[in-house]
Amino acid sequence: MNAQEALSNSIRNIEMRLKEHERLLECLREGDEGTVAACLSLDCRHSIVMRETLLEVIEVLEDSRKAFKSPRLEALRKKLIRILAENI
């Protein structure tokens, strides 16, 4: 991984954390204790492992896109990025 890739990964991680904070703030605004508890579970071990795995898959797909020029792999990579951005 070069410096540019490391920076991109770092930015993605920061963006994910910001989304988590936005969700938590929204839960706190709603004032529902059950919802707040659910929001706090975003940092559970399973969620962290899933996020890390998705980032790794996306990175591998990005690295292989030059070698395989597959429209299906590109579509899958973009879908994973979108899902990660929307849900984590």
pLDDT tens digits along 24-34: 777 777 776 55
What does pTM read for this prediction?
Answer: 0.48
Quickly count helices (H) and strands (E) in the chain.
4, 0
Q: For position 54, what pLDDT does the model report? A: 86
User: What does the block give as tokens for 35?
Assistant: 């919802």
Query: DSSP readout, 35-81?
Result: HHHHHHGGGSHHHHHHHHHHHHHHHHHHHHHHHH--HHHHHHHHHHH
Dist. CA 19–CA 87, nearest whole Å: 9
Tally the C-alpha atoms within 13 A of residue 59's C-alpha that lie toward its C-beta.
16
Taking only the tens place, the pLDDT of each residue in 27-57 is 777 776 555 555 555 556 667 778 888 888 8
